[in-house]
Amino acid sequence: MAYFIFIGDMFVMAFMIAIVIWVSMKSSRESTNKAARIPLEDEDIDG
């Protein structure tokens, strides 16, 4: 049973990594950088 859970976790991780790679390749560098700054600038007031 532990092997089943471990293999399932590995498939989920591979899927999430593939999604991140796919999204980062399809989006522009500017939008990727803007999204990466969201956690850093969450307390800034942008009007």
pLDDT band at 12; cut points 50, 70, 90? very high
- pTM, two decimals, is 0.60
Tokens representing 44? Answer: 């800034």
pLDDT, residue 29, reads: 86
Give the pLDDT of residue 39.
73
27, pLDDT greater than 90: no
**Quick check: 32 and 24 in contact, CB under 8 A?**
yes
Q: What is the pLDDT of residue 45?
A: 66
> Within the chain, how many helices (H) and strands (E) appear?
2, 0
DSSP, res 43: T
